[in-house]
Amino acid sequence: MNAALNAWPFVIAAYAVAVTATAGLLGISLAALRRAEGRADALDRQGKN
Amino acid sequence: MHRFANPARFVRLARPLTAWFGWIGVGLVAVALAGGLVLTPPDYLQGDTVRIIYIHIPSAWLGMAGWGGIAAASFAQLVWRHPLAHVAARASAVPGAVYTAICLITGSIWGRPTWGTWWEWDGRLTSMLILFFLYLAYIALAQAAGREEGGQKIAAIFGLVGAINLPIIHFSVLWWRTLHQGESIGLTGSTIDERILWPIPISVVGFTLIFLSVVLMRMRALLAEAKVEARLRRMASA
């Protein structure tokens, strides 16, 4: 460990990358799921009418 | 396994599991990261940079496990022609690539204050970077294959062949003299002090549950898209 370097900016940057990427992955996947299932449900309803 | 070959039955089971895995995973990760940032002591050599392991280890595990999942699903697709196997493999690719990227980026951020460099072409780092490129190639192949059986078969063969990289990643620290340290956590024990070790299993389980939740979401989305496509085709031909 380089004593001249403050470790915390590195720790915060690493956590920010992991948390942002995980939240983004969850958000994008959930949005894609809602969109796809919404389209399928709309077609189902259209088929029944 | 073939009990869940019926997409409707699979979706009925996957719907509650998606939410359960997601919420429990987020809760466990919050506990592990809070513990890793606040409750654990700094390492006597690495200082506070050791806290990066609570995200680096789970992301490395998920990068490799994601490809393990692709390989297993590809095997099921080629051998048993399981109808959901290609969907499962395709759904695992993007989250696997994301966690491999997180592993590479957080490793690089850890390397700067610890090794004095952002990157080193050593066995572990290079084989992990190759895994990331394999994910990108698999995503492109699976996307291009769409619903065409021949293309899906090529993607499955690629998924199986790419698994050769997994033991290379695992044993790279033993086979070559590398800057990356050897195995700190094995099946029989760990060389990490208990006070620093405890958030790691919580973090690994938490991130794994989030990964599974994302895979289930993506599988359900792919199945819903296939259903819409089939319905539109039927309507067009009627």
Question: Is residue B116 exposed (0-12), middle (13-18) or buried (19+ Cβ within 10 Å)?
Answer: exposed
**pLDDT tens-digit map of B186-209:** 777 777 888 889 999 999 999 999
- Whether B79 is in a domain gets the answer yes
- Whether B142 is in a domain gets the answer yes
- Whether B70 is in a domain gets the answer yes
Q: Which residues does B213 contact at the CB level (< 8 Å), separation at least 6?
A: A26, B17, B18, B19, B21, B22, B25
Q: Which residues does A24 contact at the CB level (< 8 Å), separation at least 6?
A: none
- Whether B7 is in a domain gets the answer no
Number of structural domains found in chain B? 1
- Tell me, what's the pLDDT at B7? 82
Element (H, E) at B106: helix B85-115
**pLDDT tens-digit map of B64-114:** 999 999 999 999 999 998 889 999 999 999 999 999 999 999 999 999 999
Nearest to B231 among A13, A17, A43 (CB): A43
Domain that holds residue B78: 16-182+199-237
Q: 10 Å Cβ neighbour count for A47?
A: 10
- Tell me, what's the pLDDT at B71? 98
- Whether B8 is in a domain gets the answer no
What angle in degrees, to the nearest 10, is found between the helix axes of B7-34 and A8-48? 160
Rounded CA separation B134/B101 (Å): 12
Q: Which of B37, B46, B214 is the mutation pick for testing A, counting most A CBs within 10 A?
A: B214
CB pairs under 8 A between A and B: 103
Contacts of residue B231 in chain A, CB cutoff 8 Å?
A: 40, 43, 47
pLDDT-derived band at B160, boundaries 50, 70, 90: very high
Higher pLDDT, B201 or A1: B201
